[in-house]
C-alpha cells in the first residue's frame, strides 16, 4: 500500500469509528426516553438527568481510569499516543485515531450506568446512583473488558488451551449488556420495591406514563445499534455486512416473537427488538442470518417470560426489566454465539460452546458479586433510597425541584 493510500485509510478509519461513537452516543438518548416513557410522570425529569449525567461522568472516569485498566498505559505508551496526546501531535500524525477509538470504547462503557438506571428508577437517591455508575463504568466494567478484549488476556489464553477457542463476544452481549443487567440485580434487590408495587404480597402493576416516548427510546436505540455492532470492526477494512444483516434479523426475530408471544403488547414488542439486538452482539460476525433470527426470537420470549417471573414469582421490582433484558438476553447471546456459530448450523465456526458458557457465566457471577459489594457498601453508608416522602412526591420535585411539565402544574 502506498503512502497516499495509507493516509487515506487512516482518515477513513477515523471517520468510521467517529460515526460509530456518535451512533452509540445517540443510543443514550434512547436509554433516556425508554425510561421517561416507562416511569411515572413524576420521575421523568430524573430519568433524563440520570442518563445525561451518567454519560458525562462515564466519559471522565473511563478516559482517566477505565481505558488504562482495559488497554493499559502501555498501550498509550507503545503507540506513542500519550506523549502525542500531551504535545498535541496526535491530531496531525495519526489523525487522532487513538483518541476516537477511546471515544468509541467509552460509549460502550457508558451503557453500564445507563442500563442500571432503568432498574433502579423512581426511588433511588441521585448521588449514590451517580457514584455507583462511576464505579461501574470506570472500574467494574473495564476490569472484565480487559480480560475479554483488552490486555489481560490470561483468561482467554486459558480458555484457548482448555476449549480450543477463546471467549467470543464481537460487540458486547456479555461484556457490555449482561454486565449492566447483572450489576443491576443486586442494586434492585438491595433498594427494595417501589411503594405500592406489591400489596399483600400480590403484584400491582404501576402504570407506565407514555408509550410514544417508550417507543421513541426503542427506535433511537435500535437505529444507533447498527453503529454499536457494525463499527465494532474498529477499522473500515474489517467491516462486515454480515454483522449488519445479522443485527437486522435478530431485531426482527425479537419484534415478531414479541408480537405473537405478548399478544400485541406494545411494550414487549418494542423491548423485544432490543432483546434481539442485545442477544446478537456476541455472535453477529459468526452466525448465519437465519441463526440470528432464531437467537433474536428466543431472546424476546426469554425477556417476556422472565420479566413476568421476576416480578410475580421473585417480587423484584425491576422497573424497565433490565435484568431479563440486558442480563438474561446478554448471557443468552454469549451462549448462543457458541451454538449458532458452529458451521453445522450455518455459522462461520471457530467458537466453542463451552468457552462461551464459561465466559458468559463468569460475567454473570462477577457482575452480581461486584454489584452486591458495591451497593451493599453504599446502602450501609450513604444509603440508597429516597425518603418515603420524596418517593411519593416524585424524584423530579424531590431531587430536581421541577416537574416534567411545569406549565401543567400551574393552577390557572
Task: Identify residues 327-366 at the interface with a second copy (CB under 8 A).
Answer: 343, 346-349
Distance, CA of 337 to CA of 285 (rounded, Å)? 9
Q: Which is nearer to a second copy, 10 or 369 (CB)?
A: 10
The set of cell numbers assigned to 298 is 428466543
The set of cell numbers assigned to 110 is 457508558
Q: How many residues bind a second copy (CB under 8 A)?
A: 117
Interface mask (CB under 8 A) for a second copy, residues 79-118, using x and -?
Answer: ------xxxxxxxx-xxxxxxx-xx---------------
From 127, 160, 2, select the one nearest 399 (Cα to Cα). 127
The least distance separating a second copy from the CB of residue 119, rounded to whole angstroms, comes to: 19
Q: Which is nearer to a second copy, 314 or 406 (CB)?
A: 406
Q: Which of residues 374-403 bind a second copy (CB under 8 A)?
A: 399-403
From 214, 202, 197, select the one nearest 118 (Cα to Cα). 214
Q: Which is nearer to a second copy, 213 or 307 (CB)?
A: 213
Interface mask (CB under 8 A) for a second copy, residues 55-74, using x and -?
Answer: xxx-xx--x-----------
**Ramachandran assignment for 315, one of left (phi > 0), alpha (psi -120 to 50 degrees), beta (any other):** left
Q: Which is nearer to a second copy, 293 or 366 (CB)?
A: 293
Residue 124 has phi, psi (to 5 degrees) of -100, 145
Q: Which of residues 30-49 bind a second copy (CB under 8 A)?
A: 32-33, 36, 40-41, 44-45, 48-49
Q: Which of residues 239-258 bind a second copy (CB under 8 A)?
A: 239-245, 248-249, 251-252, 255-256
Distance, CA of 123 to CA of 116 (rounded, Å)? 13
Q: Is 207 exposed, middle or buried (0-12, 13-18, 19+ CB in 10 A)?
A: exposed
Distance, CA of 46 to CA of 126 (rounded, Å)? 8
Given CA atoms 297, 299, 305, 307 in this order, what sign does their dihedral have? Answer: negative
Q: Which is nearer to a second copy, 203 or 372 (CB)?
A: 203
Applying CB under 8 A, among 123, 125, 270, 326 the residue interacting with a second copy is 270
- 165: Cα separation from own chain's centroid: 25
Cβ 47 vs Cβ 102: under 8 Å: no
Q: Which of residues 157-216 bind a second copy (CB under 8 A)?
A: 207-213, 215-216
Distance, CA of 84 to CA of 97 (rounded, Å)? 12
The least distance separating a second copy from the CB of residue 184, rounded to whole angstroms, comes to: 22
The least distance separating a second copy from the CB of residue 36, rounded to whole angstroms, comes to: 5
Stretch that binds a second copy, among 156-164, 280-288, 301-309, 355-363 (CB under 8 A): 280-288
Applying CB under 8 A, among 160, 265, 308, 385 the residue interacting with a second copy is 265
Q: For the chain, what percentages of helix, strand and coil (3-state, to nearest 5) are there?
A: 75, 0, 25
Amino acid at each position: 500500500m502506498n503512502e497516499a493510500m495509507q493516509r487515506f485509510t487512516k482518515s477513513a478509519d477515523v471517520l468510521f469509528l467517529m460515526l460509530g461513537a456518535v451512533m452509540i452516543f445517540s443510543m443514550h438518548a434512547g436509554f433516556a426516553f425508554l425510561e421517561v416513557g416507562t416511569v411515572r410522570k413524576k420521575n421523568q425529569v430524573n430519568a433524563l438527568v440520570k442518563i445525561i449525567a451518567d454519560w458525562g461522568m462515564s466519559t471522565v472516569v473511563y478516559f482517566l481510569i477505565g481505558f488504562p485498566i482495559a488497554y493499559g498505559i502501555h498501550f498509550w505508551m507503545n503507540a506513542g499516543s500519550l506523549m502525542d496526546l500531551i504535545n498535541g501531535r496526535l491530531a496531525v500524525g495519526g489523525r487522532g485515531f487513538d483518541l476516537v477509538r477511546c471515544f468509541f470504547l467509552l460509549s460502550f462503557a457508558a451503557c453500564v450506568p445507563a442500563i442500571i438506571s432503568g432498574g433502579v428508577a423512581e426511588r433511588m437517591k441521585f448521588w449514590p446512583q451517580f457514584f455507583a455508575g462511576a464505579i461501574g463504568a470506570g472500574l467494574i466494567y473495564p476490569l472484565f473488558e480487559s480480560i475479554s478484549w483488552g490486555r489481560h488476556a490470561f483468561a482467554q489464553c486459558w480458555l484457548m488451551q482448555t476449549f480450543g477457542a477463546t471467549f467470543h463476544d464481537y460487540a458486547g452481549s456479555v461484556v457490555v449488556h449482561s454486565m449492566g443487567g447483572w450489576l443491576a440485580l443486586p442494586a434492585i434487590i438491595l433498594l427494595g420495591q417501589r411503594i405500592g408495587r406489591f400489596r399483600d404480597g400480590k403484584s400491582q402493576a404501576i402504570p407506565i406514563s407514555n408509550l410514544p416516548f417508550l417507543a421513541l427510546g426503542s427506535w433511537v436505540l435500535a437505529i444507533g445499534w447498527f453503529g454499536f455492532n457494525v463499527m465494532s470492526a474498529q477499522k473500515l477494512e474489517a467491516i462486515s455486512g454480515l454483522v449488519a444483516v445479522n443485527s437486522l434479523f435478530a431485531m426482527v426475530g425479537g419484534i415478531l416473537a414479541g408480537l405473537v408471544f405478548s399478544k400485541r403488547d406494545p411494550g414487549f414488542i418494542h423491548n423485544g427488538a432490543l432483546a434481539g439486538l442485545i442477544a446478537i452482539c456476541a455472535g453477529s460476525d459468526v452466525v448465519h442470518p437465519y441463526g440470528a433470527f432464531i437467537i433474536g426470537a428466543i431472546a424476546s420470549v426469554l425477556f417476556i417470560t422472565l420479566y413476568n417471573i421476576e416480578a410475580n414469582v421473585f417480587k423484584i421490582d425491576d422497573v424497565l426489566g433490565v435484568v431479563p433484558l440486558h442480563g438474561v438476553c446478554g448471557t443468552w447471546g454469549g451462549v448462543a454465539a457458541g451454538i449458532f456459530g458452529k458451521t453445522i448450523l450455518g455459522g462461520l465456526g471457530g467458537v466453542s460452546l463451552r468457552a462461551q458458557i464459561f465466559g458468559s457465566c463468569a460475567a454473570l457471577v462477577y457482575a452480581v458479586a461486584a454489584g452486591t459489594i458495591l451497593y451493599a457498601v453504599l446502602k450501609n453508608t450513604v444509603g440508597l433510597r429516597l425518603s418515603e416522602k420524596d418517593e411519593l412526591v416524585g424524584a423530579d420535585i424531590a431531587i430536581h425541584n421541577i416537574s416534567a411539565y411545569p406549565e401543567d402544574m400551574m393552577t390557572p
